[in-house]
């Protein structure tokens, strides 16, 4: 399938997906700002939840638009799979920030945890760039595939940091069990978000074969 001439309805699908990817970037920036300055945590969490609410609304619009539109730029299953994964990523970002606040954790003291957060930060931008290139799938196939490969490598690095961090927790002398459980929960929550980003890139990588 070549997206050489798109109808307004088809353009709208791509625009909605790009807006949805944008909510990931917004949510991620709020989390990064919170980690750099933990003042006013409840206010920042409210900001993040407002982004999540906007993401939920976008998902509903994409679902309705896909259901009602006869000619789509991509298969309905692919559009909805992307929309669902994008929306879930924002929800998971909100959850991880809420856990950090409730658990009263300070990730800055955990090198492996902060390394995972740094990777998540770059992946959020990568996902937005991938979604933005979708409507030019045919002409930007090589760039899309390269970006997907970069995401895969970053995900592997994140897995290493996750295992290292959890290993360090379990190997502590006289460890505080509650603290270990709290930090492990944050590790697994971040891993879930990053796995979701990898799922999005996998869907798009398959599109470079399916539609070109």
* Closest to 113 in 3D by CA, of 174, 36, 191, 177: 191
Give the pLDDT of residue 190. 95
Give the pLDDT of residue 173. 79
Q: What percent of the chain has pLDDT over 90?
A: 75
Number of domains observed in the structure of the chain: 1
C-alpha angle 123-203-146 in degrees, rounded to nearest 5: 55
Domain that holds residue 150: 8-210
Q: What is the mean pLDDT of the chain?
A: 92
51-85: buried (b, 16+ CB within 10 Å) or exposed (e) per residue? Answer: bbebbeebbeebbebbeebeeebbeeebbbbbbbb
Contact 210, 188 (CB under 8 A): no
Give the pLDDT of residue 42. 93
DSSP type of residue 140: T
Question: Considering the domain boundaries, does residue 3 fall inside one?
Answer: no
The CATH number assigned to the domain holding 110 equals 1.20.58.220
* Closest to 56 in 3D by CA, of 19, 14, 31, 30: 19
Give the pLDDT of residue 3. 52
Instruction: Read off the pTM.
Output: 0.91
* Closest to 36 in 3D by CA, of 110, 132, 106, 133: 106
* Closest to 21 in 3D by CA, of 197, 206, 208, 191: 197
Question: Considering the domain boundaries, does residue 192 fall inside one?
Answer: yes
Question: Considering the domain boundaries, does residue 1 fall inside one?
Answer: no
Alpha-helical regions (H) of the chain: 8-36, 41-68, 76-103, 111-133, 141-170, 177-210
- At 51-102, the pLDDT tens digits run 999 999 999 999 999 998 878 888 999 999 999 999 999 999 999 999 999 9
205 vs 35: which has the higher pLDDT: 205
Lowest-confidence pick of 13-22, 63-72, 146-155, 192-201: 63-72
Distance, in Å, from the CA atom of 204 to the CA atom of 211, rounded to the nearest integer, reads: 10
Give the pLDDT of residue 56. 97
Give the pLDDT of residue 1. 45
Question: Considering the domain boundaries, does residue 50 fall inside one?
Answer: yes
């Amino acid at each position: 399938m070549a997206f050489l001439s798109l109808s307004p309805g088809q353009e709208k699908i791509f625009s909605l997906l790009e807006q949805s990817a944008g909510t990931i970037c917004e949510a991620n920036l709020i989390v990064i700002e919170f980690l750099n300055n933990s003042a006013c945590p409840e206010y920042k969490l409210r900001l993040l939840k407002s982004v999540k609410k906007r993401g939920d609304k976008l998902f509903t619009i994409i679902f309705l638009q896909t259901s009602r539109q006869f000619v789509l730029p991509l298969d309905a299953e692919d559009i909805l799979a992307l929309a669902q994964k994008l929306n879930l990523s924002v929800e998971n970002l909100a959850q991880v920030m809420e856990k950090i606040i409730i658990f009263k954790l300070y990730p800055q003291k955990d090198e492996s945890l902060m390394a995972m957060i740094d990777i998540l930060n770059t992946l959020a931008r990568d996902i937005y760039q991938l979604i933005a290139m979708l409507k030019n799938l045919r002409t930007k196939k090589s760039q899309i595939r390269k970006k997907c490969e970069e995401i895969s490598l970053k995900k592997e690095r994140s897995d290493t940091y996750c295992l290292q961090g959890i290993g360090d927790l379990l190997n502590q002398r006289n460890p505080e069990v509650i603290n270990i459980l709290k930090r492990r929960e944050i590790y697994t929550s971040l891993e879930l978000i990053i796995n979701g980003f990898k799922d999005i890139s996998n869907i798009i990588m398959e599109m470079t074969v399916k539609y070109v």
